[in-house]
């Protein structure tokens, strides 16, 4: 029974993300993965906690750091690995790679490598849902760096004006590549800035996955009942380099002590310690089986046919 509890679900979802990305990091140097990879190792609480508060018919918009949101929303792992391997059975037919995951049937909108560009698209989808009088909600994941794009302000203004069913979720890892917030923001008070647009704001300053879930659930319930759009800020920490599977302490923009502080409160361990060892083992085994099957699927999948180069393109 315990395996269906909230804690078990949050543990399973985060563990699947973590282990999938650890495998990506392991495979990456072999050159089997054909695109750059932006890993969310350490940041799993945001995607897992928020998606736990959604219904299957709800929609998420992910970024180029999107493995976590794709997995947490329940999109197929096999197709994600096949996409990373550039194979024809990938979720974007092997043409997009890690930064362009998509699974419309699971409510995962296509991602983009261009920072901020998915934000207005997510609002457009929310507008369509509103016009069709559907009760579905859109979650738009974005990084703290994306809030600096002009289109972010334009979109949150429009979303409140039109009362769109959308929750913006900032996966706030404190860095845009190597630049910390203190070198980019005149005030660190993001929520006050956002509040002036009229959004309903929620904050999870320690990134606790249980609290992420609670805050997201409250926000989504309000939005579904016709409330104003929401903004959820989740403090997280990226354990790996901005792009790629390695570490980057030598670059000098962050120190090991800060990293160690965050690792000490690993969001997966935080949830795992509330479960019995038996439950953790059952879930861990299930996760390993899923990942092994997904990697095998990607290895065995065919390469795209040469003619596919010219399909699904504008010119």
Ligand X SMILES: Cc1ncc(C[n+]2csc(CCOP(=O)(O)OP(=O)(O)O)c2C)c(N)n1
* Residue numbers at the binding site for ligand X (CB under 6 A): 65, 113-115, 143-146, 173, 175-177, 242
Q: Which is nearer to ligand X, 175 or 210 (CB)?
A: 175
Q: Which is nearer to ligand X, 101 or 129 (CB)?
A: 101
What's the closest the beta carbon of residue 294 comes to ligand X, in angstroms?
23
Nearest CA to 238 out of 123, 144, 120, 157 is that of 144
What's the closest the beta carbon of residue 33 comes to ligand X, in angstroms?
18
Q: Which is nearer to ligand X, 92 or 283 (CB)?
A: 92
What's the closest the beta carbon of residue 172 comes to ligand X, in angstroms?
8
Angle, CA of 175, 179 and 180, to the nearest 5°: 55
Q: Are 102 and 62 in contact (CB under 8 A)?
A: no
Q: Which is nearer to ligand X, 107 or 145 (CB)?
A: 145
What's the closest the beta carbon of residue 242 comes to ligand X, in angstroms?
6
Distance CA 144, CA 186 (A): 14
Q: Are 303 and 94 in contact (CB under 8 A)?
A: yes
What's the closest the beta carbon of residue 81 comes to ligand X, in angstroms?
21
Q: Which is nearer to ligand X, 180 or 302 (CB)?
A: 180
Nearest residue (beta carbon) to ligand X: 143
Distance CA 175, CA 248 (A): 13
Q: Are 160 and 199 in contact (CB under 8 A)?
A: yes
The CA radius of gyration of the chain, in Å to the nearest whole number, is: 19
User: Sheet holding 166-172: strands in order across?
Assistant: 108-109, 59-61, 138-143, 166-172, 230-235, 200-204
């Amino acid at each position: 029974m315990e395996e269906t509890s909230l804690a078990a679900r949050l543990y399973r979802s985060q563990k699947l993300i973590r282990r999938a990305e650890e495998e990506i990091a392991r495979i990456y140097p072999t050159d089997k993965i054909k695109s750059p990879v932006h890993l969310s190792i350490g940041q799993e609480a945001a995607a897992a906690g928020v998606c736990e508060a959604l219904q299957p018919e709800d929609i998420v918009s992910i970024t180029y750091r999107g493995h976590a949101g794709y997995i947490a929303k329940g999109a197929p792992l096999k197709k994600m690995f096949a996409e990373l391997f550039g194979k024809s059975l990938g979720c974007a037919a092997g043409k997009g790679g890690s930064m362009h995951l998509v699974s419309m049937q699971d409510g995962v909108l296509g991602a983009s490598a261009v920072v901020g560009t998915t934000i207005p698209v997510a609002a457009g989808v929310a507008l369509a849902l509103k016009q069709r009088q559907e009760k579905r909600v859109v979650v738009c994941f974005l990084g703290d760096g994306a809030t600096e794009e002009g289109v972010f302000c334009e979109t949150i203004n429009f979303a409140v004006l039109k009362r769109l069913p959308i929750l913006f979720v900032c996966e706030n890892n404190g860095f845009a590549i190597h630049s910390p917030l203190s070198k980019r923001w005149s005030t660190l008070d993001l929520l006050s800035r956002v509040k002036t647009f009229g959004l309903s704001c929620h904050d999870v300053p320690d990134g606790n996955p249980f609290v992420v879930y609670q805050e997201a659930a409250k926000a989504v319930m309000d939005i579904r009942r016709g409330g104003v759009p929401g903004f959820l800020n989740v403090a997280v920490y990226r354990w790996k380099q901005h792009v790629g599977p390695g570490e980057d302490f030598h670059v000098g923009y962050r120190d090991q002590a800060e990293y160690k502080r965050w690792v000490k409160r690993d969001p997966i361990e935080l949830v795992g310690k509330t479960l019995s060892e038996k439950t953790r083992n059952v879930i861990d085994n299930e996760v390993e089986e899923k990942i092994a099957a997904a990697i095998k699927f990607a290895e065995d999948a065919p390469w795209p046919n040469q003619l596919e180069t010219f399909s699904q393109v504008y010119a």
